[in-house]
Amino acid sequence: MVGVVALVLAVHDIPLANHLESVERDRLATKYERDAFILGGRSEEALEEGVAATDTGLNAMVLRYASEEEVDVVVTDSDGVGVVASDASKIGQDLTNRVEISSALADGEPQTGERYSGTLRGDLFFVAVPVLSGDRRVGAVRISAPESIVDDRVNAQVRGLLFVALLSLAIASVVAWLFAASVVRPLRRLHSATDRLAAGDLSTRAPTDAGPPEIRDVAESFNSMADRTEQLVERQRAFAGTASHQLRTPLTALRLRLEQLAIEVDGDTEMEDTVESALAETDRLRRMIEGLLALTRAEDAAVGPVVVDLSAIVHERAEHWRPLADESDVRLDVAAPTGVFVSVLPGAAEQMIDNLVDNALDVSPTGSRLTLSVSAGTTTTELHVIDDGPGLSDADREAAFERFWRAEGATPGGSGLGLAIVRQLANASGGQAELRAAPGGGIDATITLPNGRPRSA
Ligand SMILES: Nc1ncnc2c1ncn2[C@@H]1O[C@H](COP(=O)(O)OP(=O)(O)OP(=O)(O)O)[C@@H](O)[C@H]1O
Ligand SMILES: [Mg+2]
């Protein structure tokens, strides 16, 4: 807004200033010309009679006028010789070499303009008029001033214009500030509320008590939308949780019946195989339901993070998995310095390690190595689960975190929810989870968690 006002002022005031300057210059020229004619009228008789030099009244008038107006005045006779002058050195001097004086005497016309003056060593502004007695030219009167003095007078007018322009700018700044306070600030707050909602903070609301009515209306509409979104998401979560929970009971009953059936078909190989795979599918379904329940719990994250000894947990989980690793002839190494504390949701570290080790053992070939390591940084700590398996492509390493995503040819039985749960738990703990390519070609599953300070330290 201030910029627009400055632009308008520049477009408007620069030509105006130029115009004002020329008007002021013309006005001064006209005034000096009129005064020169008045002085000429007063000198006419004395010049005609050749007594101007001794006419004390005329001399006093010339001197007074010159000092009041801060100009130079000279009255010459018809030969262009100075007879009365504010500058005494010009009395008796032949002034016909001053072009305006010789022209006024020769043409009988007033002369106005500027020229370089050798006496002043600068530009001179002048008005020279002939003194006429009837048709005869009995002398001339010249009023002159250094150009700089004329400029000062003209500039005084232009300065007035500049002052008005600055005043307009100051008023525009105040108005712009008031405008910002009433419109831009509420808009900014609305904008940041939108950003927070987009970032996943469903509880965010925009203030509805500031700004013009239009912005308040938008803020109210935004808040209604946020209310509705929050309700919908909440309902969806609750549905996933309840549905998974409700499915558990019939599933357990189904499993029991299948087990019963397995006893009954004992001996019938074909039926035994069918019941066996039905049992395997039931187990897969159960794992999926457990996974969905775990995800809903992680999303709710009603309890905040706690500080745990990550090294101790890694050692404990490694011992839990060791028999299974031994069974597959996989060497399980642990590299975790003691006493590395992190902040994480209760039970989440164990759950994340279990999911990652489960995945790694699934793909680890016989005789390969599986490494669990912990490395503490200044603000965060990294937990790595590194396998020697076949690895995944760049795109698949990211896709693996999507719910129900499983690589083609993945070991049967998985639900495709393990990594989604890992990422959800890591994020809810203020950290992150990613799959990196391990140098040996396998996967380096990395969890980054914020460092925590042990309570007893
Ligand atoms: N270490 C790994 N090496 C190679 N592929 C992996 C590895 N970890 C995960 N994957 C791939 O990512 C897929 C998704 O893993 P995720 O843990 O989410 O599900 P899952 O293991 O199939 O099932 P769940 O863990 O729910 O029982 C896996 O099926 C597998 O194809
Ligand atoms: Mg898994």
Mean pLDDT over residues 300-328, rounded? 90
Q: Name which CATH class applies to 213-297.
A: mainly alpha
- pLDDT tens digit sequence for 243-265: 878 888 889 999 999 999 999 99
Mean pLDDT over residues 15-36, rounded? 86
Nearest-atom number in ligand 1 for the CA of 387 is 1
**Nearest ligand, CA of residue 404?**
1
Half-sphere exposure of 303 (CA within 13 A, CB side): 12
pLDDT at 302: 60
**436 with 288: CB under 8 angstroms?**
no
pLDDT at 300: 66
Asked if the model's pLDDT at residue 1 lies above 60, the reply is yes
Ligand 1 mean position, distance from CA 400 (Å): 7
**Nearest ligand, CA of residue 410?**
1
Ligand 2 mean position, distance from CA 291 (Å): 10
**Nearest ligand, CA of residue 363?**
1
Closest CA to 150 of 130, 124, 174: 124
**Nearest ligand, CA of residue 416?**
1
Q: Name which CATH class applies to 304-450.
A: alpha beta
- CA dist 240 and 42 (Å) reads 112
Length of the chain: 457
**pLDDT > 90 fraction of the chain, expressed in percent and rounded:** 57
Mean pLDDT over residues 84-109, rounded? 92
- Listed ranges 5-9, 148-152, 323-327; the one with the highest mean pLDDT: 323-327
Nearest-atom number in ligand 1 for the CA of 416 is 19
Asked if the model's pLDDT at residue 455 lies above 80, the reply is no
pTM of the predicted model, to two decimals? 0.54
- pLDDT tens digit sequence for 264-296: 998 888 999 999 989 988 988 888 888 777 777
Asked if the model's pLDDT at residue 457 lies above 60, the reply is no
Task: Name the residue at shortest CA distance from atom 1 of ligand 1.
Answer: 360
Nearest-atom number in ligand 1 for the CA of 445 is 1
Mean pLDDT over residues 325-338, rounded? 96
Nearest-atom number in ligand 1 for the CA of 385 is 1
CATH number attached to the domain at 2-155: 3.30.450.20
Asked if the model's pLDDT at residue 346 lies above 90, the reply is no
pLDDT at 7: 79
Task: Name the residue at shortest CA distance from atom 3 of ligand 1.
Answer: 391
- pLDDT tens digit sequence for 368-389: 999 999 999 999 999 999 999 9
- pLDDT tens digit sequence for 431-452: 999 999 999 999 999 999 999 9
Supply the mean pLDDT for the chain: 89
pLDDT at 362: 95
The set of protein residues with a Cβ atom below 6 angstroms from ligand 1 is 287, 291, 355, 359-360, 363, 387, 389, 392, 400, 405-407, 410, 414-420, 443
- pLDDT tens digit sequence for 161-190: 788 888 988 998 898 888 878 888 889 999
Q: Where are the domains of the chain?
A: 2-155, 213-297, 304-450
Please tell me which residue, 89 or 25, carries the higher pLDDT value.
89
Nearest-atom number in ligand 1 for the CA of 407 is 31
Asked if the model's pLDDT at residue 301 lies above 70, the reply is no
Task: Name the residue at shortest CA distance from atom 17 of ligand 1.
Answer: 418
Mutate to test the pocket of ligand 1, among 359, 398, 423 (most ligand atoms within 8 A of CB): 359
Mean pLDDT over residues 183-212, rounded? 88
pLDDT at 185: 87
Task: Name the residue at shortest CA distance from atom 19 of ligand 1.
Answer: 416
Task: Name the residue at shortest CA distance from atom 7 of ligand 1.
Answer: 359
Confidence band (pLDDT; 50, 70, 90) for 120? confident
Task: Name the residue at shortest CA distance from atom 9 of ligand 1.
Answer: 359
Asked if the model's pLDDT at residue 37 lies above 90, the reply is yes
